[in-house]
Amino acid sequence: MTELKEKIAGEITISESPGKIIKKWRKMFDVSQTDLADHMDVAPSVVSDYEKGRRKPGTPLVKKIVEALIGIDEERGGDVIKRFSKPGQHGIIDMEEYPTPINLSEIVEEIDGAIVTDDPAEREIYGYTIIDSIEAILAMKSFDYLSIYGWSTERVLFFDGVEYGRSPLVAIRSTPLTPAAVSYVKPKKIDGLSIEMAKREGIPLIKTDLDIEELNNKLKKWL
């Protein structure tokens, strides 16, 4: 749990937009501004001010936020804590976190990718997960799907073994979390329904023809 606390605090502290990171983690823990404020013993407007950037959080405030999020989750049974502490490995080929955010457009260029939706590539990416689609379907339970997000949802999910692209997006829509982008590795074909689902979820959909080994090597450029 200490590692998780340090991760949350570190992201907030080093970010140029700490309010956005506070909001991101609050949503990942499924905590309302009111509940967070109650556990911090402050007014909800205070939490809102920090998330909107009207106030800059100092170290004591960051500590209170982290302790409140962890405390709320523990009271609920600790599901979020367990998800980050014990990620499932079935179907996960590789998963990494970047020390600093990388613009999605840089990643798309590096992997010789192409965005097949209309979504802009100007998004900050904090990590990636490469998934064996067939193995994931056969072995992953519903809870395991949450583990593919690692430490942050601001990541690209790469799916290998995709034919038409529907199954990964259906799985993503069935969970409360949404990735920053999805990429298919050597897909047989990306059909119109898959593209429409990605658009409705606001997820840039990418395709690359690199093989897994080359793709993984290129993605490690920023580690």
Q: Per-residue pLDDT tens for 146-188?
A: 778 877 889 999 999 888 888 889 888 877 788 999 999 999 8
The percentage of residues in the chain with a pLDDT greater than 90, rounded to a whole number, is 53
Question: What's the pLDDT at 85?
Answer: 62
Tokens of 222: 């920023």
Question: What's the pLDDT at 176?
Answer: 76
Of 14-23, 127-136, 160-169, 200-209, highest mean pLDDT: 200-209
Residues 151, 115, single domain; the answer is yes
Q: What is the dihedral sign for C-alpha 36, 38, 40, 44? A: positive
Q: Is 188 exposed, middle or buried (0-12, 13-18, 19+ CB in 10 A)?
A: exposed
Residue whose structure tokens are 């907030």: 12
Contact 28, 20 (CB under 8 A): no
How many alpha carbons lie under 13 Å from residue 210 in its C-beta half-sphere?
Answer: 22
Number of domains comprising the chain: 2
Q: Per-residue pLDDT tens for 91-144?
A: 888 888 888 889 999 999 999 999 999 766 689 999 999 999 888 766 666 556
Residues 48, 133, single domain; the answer is no
Higher pLDDT, 175 or 192: 192
Residues 68, 101, single domain; the answer is no
Residues 27, 134, single domain; the answer is no
Higher pLDDT, 86 or 174: 174
Residues 101, 77, single domain; the answer is no
Residues 6+ apart with CB under 8 A from 18: 12, 50, 53, 56, 57, 62
Range of the domain at 210: 88-222
Q: What is the pTM of this model?
A: 0.65
